[in-house]
Structure 1
Amino acid sequence: MVHRPIYLDCHATTPVDARVVEAMVPFFTEHFGNPASLTHAYGWEAEAAVTQARSTIAAAIKASPEEIVFTSGATEANNLALKGIAEACFSRGRHIITVETEHNAVLDPCQYLASLGFEISYLPVQSNGLLDLKTLEQAFRDDTILVSVMAANNEIGVLQPLADIGALCRDRNVFFHSDGAQAIGKIPLDVNAMHLDLLSLTAHKVYGPKGIGALYVRRRPRVPLVAQLHGGGHERGLRSGTLYPPQIVGFAKAVELGLTAMALESDRLTALRQRLWHGLQPLGGMHLNGDPTRRLPGNLNVSVEGVDGQALLLGLRGTVALSSGAACSTASTAPSHVLQALGRDHDLAYASLRFGLGRFTTADEIARVITAVSDTIQALRQTAATVNPIASQIGHNER
């Protein structure tokens, strides 16, 4: 029997829960109609399922069903939010505020908008990854139209103070968007309490299928948004394209399951994360990235002194499936822009491990991971010490 590595990369994606698959299957084979086909039973069945799913997802974030626009995922939702607001508010202002540690699905659209003449302010974060609200206050201008700050960071798991950020935006009549891809089904989200105007969501980070997401778009007061896909007028003209009932049903089921288990799962994952962190600390030279408490329950991100980052991942790949940063950036050899924003130097940012614990992670797996990671780090340090005797001192000055 082939033994697969222990999966601890749940920020990249999660396995689809069997209960989600079960909910989806009938809409591939039996209830396969097009939700836009309103002249027969097949279309009515599909439309009813989409309507129910829309209600489930809306309720999860305290929104109304009409405020949910289905997309192919959070990347498309982010693009629709940023570009849609920019085009709609072009005559009002051309200044957008975001944060240096955002996902590339926000940073790249901002770069694109900058090429069209928009001005983008990329705010720094504190050493713990949190945005300083005073820094945000000072960044507002008379022509600011949008602030985009992610709810939960995909690398270091930090939870930004959305309600406080939203209040500052509301006071200044500035639209507030958040990338909630890593947050849905894991932490409570309330678009009204957080003063959110736009919120991007996706299914595959919460044990749902890939290829389906949504954008929450506030209706009261109405958020102006220009569609980025045209050709049929679906989703009230905001996102054309035939809706995919199996994916949508699976998305809603995944969110429903996440909400049901949220409190207990949060406690369980936090305990496992702390066990992992305490198990690695005796190695010394281990740096925790991100705030120790204001983070996703299943996230642990550490930088390791005295090892080569690529060698560390190669040494672990047969035992533990994890990454050093965002899955969509693995083709890049540059160190994480998120860790550099925290002030980590090149070597530490490059020698980092992102542990993403999830629903199916067990205590036994964490114990095995501690052993595997410890053995690998010690072996790499011993090898380095033969070349550079100074490296042998690493571990005696734990930080």
Structure 2
Amino acid sequence: MADQKPDRFNSLMTSPEISLAAIDSVSQIPALDWDACANPAIGHHDESPTSGATPESSSAQISFLNSREKYNPFISHAFFTALEASNSACRRTGWGPRHLIARRDGAVVGVVPCYLKSHSQGEYVFDHGWANAYESAGGRYYPKLLASVPFTPATGPRLLIRAGSDEMRIATALAGGLVSLCDATQSSSVHVTFAREQEWTFLAGSGFLQRTDQQFHWRNEGYSSFEDFLATLASRHRKAIRRERRDALTNGITIHVLTGSELTEEAWDAFFQFYMETGSRKWGRPYLTRSFYSLIGESMSQDIALIMARRDGRWIAGAINFIGSDTLFGRHWGAIEHHPFLHFEVCYYQAIDFAIRHRLKTVEAGAQGEHKIARGYLPQTTYSAHYIADSGLRRAVGDYLKRERQYVAEAARELTDAGPFRKAGDSDVS
């Protein structure tokens, strides 16, 4: 990877009291400092909000960070530690950590998880066309900077700011720091992906281009059971889902939800086999190493729901989910035996069941997949912001993104209208 600059840059001073630096490992910052910025209102999804200093920002400014009461497992120090310590996200794999840290009076007040990339794999916001066009014109697209969570297409905060801080001032410093880090690392661009809409809007004011895409999420409308959810669907969809759930569990297949102490090394061995089998076919080279699962099993066991299928005394398929304060995040699945509809049961229907039982508001089922619509998952806009150093490439990409945003919005409207839910006047035939 081209990387001719030092890992740290300490000369950026956005104001007399705020200094910025880039670190090349999450281990270089204490977990308490990182998590105070990542999830400042609460330390864990099952804990109550902690009291703290009154923010200095106005109420309008605080709305830019208005989901801080929600615990997001993917931006925790433990999750990034597992990615880096397992050598899943490291310099050798093309993911060189360059986390941006803001300090005021020596205390950490802001963080942006950031990686120096030598490729565009494992990101789920595709810019291969931009890279090809720029390099065909004689430019050098890599390295680039990615401000996001490796291999994780889940929306969450990207400008992580300690509660009680002057949030807008620190956010402005972090946005400027990303642009300066782009220059310091001789990168072509900075990409802030799967950000919250407030951050997307804010970063546009700092010269970042705006991009949208869509995923498919399930919403819990206060359902008391899976059957309660099914009752909201049109008859043909309701019947189809019942049939799929029944057929998925033929041949003696049973479903087990593992969490906490149930996440044994034996379970992780089986799941990693599924991941490698399915990931090798889908991606060519799976991203995560076996030790990643052991590490999250040690440090995040209460944040994980591993949904596993068993037949004839052995595990045959599974899907890993992470538990936020109000969201179940479905990540990846794999199997060593293939049975009709088992994928839908393990990944989608069991996730809905889990969310209803635990009163979670949302299931995020990951990237892509219009087939999720018939199963109750509807379009949800996702947001990314892109700073491109070269003015010519920036203009070309900006023009493209205007058209793409229009297409994404129209597609979302059409797909929502085609959703499985009952319309006014529909007959209710079971």
Asked whether the two chains share a fold, i.e. TM above 0.5, the reply is no
TM-score by length of 1: 0.29
- Larger relative contact order (C-alpha < 8 A, sep ≥ 6)? 1
Which structure dedicates a bigger proportion of its chain to strand?
Answer: 2
TM-score by length of 2: 0.27
